[in-house]
Amino acid sequence: MSWIKRSIRPEQLRELSLVALIIVALLIFGTQIENFLSARTFNRIASSVAIVGVVAVGQTLVVLTRNIDLSVGSIVGFSAYFVGMQLNGNPELPPLMAVLLACGVGALLGLVNGVLVAYGRVPSIITTLGTLAIFRMILVNYSDAKTVTTDMVPPWVPGLAQEALFSLGEFNLRPMVAVAIAVVLVFQLVLVYTQFGRRLYAIGSNPEAARFVGLPGRRIVLLAFVICGALAGLAGFMFLSRFGNITVVAGQGLELQSVAAVVVGGVNTFGGSGSVVGALLGAFLIDLLGQGLIRWLGISEFWRDAILGLLILLAVASDAVILNWLRRLWAPNELKTRTTSEAAPTPKESSHGV
């Protein structure tokens, strides 16, 4: 037991429990639904999770600072539509420029949120609830009731969602999935090994203490919202590639899905703890349950949203009860380890003793 305490933090148990729940869900649905454990199911879930996962990574950065971004769905929709129209007018636009354009549009909208929250001192839930509606209204006016269709964009755009970087039998690793994995890995490394990541945790854990030691809290929060917007823009391009037909309601509901993925993935809603790997696992579990329940019990989309809400409540409750209990259980071991390391004599002290 002591070895487990030394090797695993309480927060990591949430990620391990998510892996266990995913395995259990796969076993249950695999026995109840014909051909559920197939390459087709995997490819469908992976493509869906890729979009939500990218949005959830940005949402994680914001939630770590004790904030939330409810406008990500509108940013995804606007970015997808805007880039689609630009590709329609400029079909020679290189793929990399189209991706950067989507990220730039998202970053600009994220900047609006960040300025209002970090420097305007407006609570993030109020700010982003307002910009959710504002960004959507901008999309409605910009679209002029027109729809971006697959035949309006270059063939390579919808082709990205169907191509496979490599295949193992019928299992395909598509570019969208590879991008999502790369985003998760990069930002997990950023959170663990960079000063920016450590500052995110510090600001979320204790904003007053972070301000007292001179951390640029406002600038860090602003940057978190800008990155969240840029990743939502990237998800908007992925949304365009996967679905092709973009209307004014594109991206609606992604704000709830991203928040659910983050919370279920173990990111503390009061900031200061969590990881993007957990958020990705949360997104995968939620999509797996949605796909499985629709095929098994034939539930409607409305019930799926209700299940998302239930998962959020359960995740918050488990954070408040289970993780706090685990932290108290781990605390004596951490204190003992710290005391032992402090009491151990240094080589210099040992030589003086001799």
Ordered structural domains, the chain, with CATH: 10-330 (1.10.3470)
Closest CA to 57 of 179, 171, 174, 143: 179
Tell me, what's the pLDDT at 338? Answer: 46
Written as one letter, the residue type at 197 is G
**pLDDT of res. 289:** 83
Q: Report residue 173: phi and psi, to 5°.
A: -100, 105
Averaged pLDDT in 10-residue chunks for the chain of 354 residues: 54 77 86 83 88 95 94 96 93 92 96 95 94 95 88 88 81 89 95 92 87 88 96 95 90 90 86 87 87 73 72 68 62 50 49 44
Q: How far is CA 54 from its chain centroid? A: 5
pLDDT at res. 59 = 96
- pLDDT for 351 equals 46
Give me the amino acid identity at 101: L
- Name residues whose C-beta falls within 8 Å of residue 126's C-beta, 6 or more positions apart in sequence: none
CA nearest neighbour of 136 among 256, 250, 254, 259: 250
Q: How many CB atoms lie within 10 A of CB 54?
A: 30
Residues 237, 230: contact at Cβ < 8 Å?
no
Cα distances from 235 to residues 2, 48, 49, 76, in angstroms, run: 42, 11, 11, 6
Q: What is the pLDDT of residue 299?
A: 66
Q: Give pTM, 2 decimals.
A: 0.85
pLDDT computed for residue 60 by the predictor: 95
Question: Scanning the structure block, which residue is given the tokens 């204190």?
Answer: 335
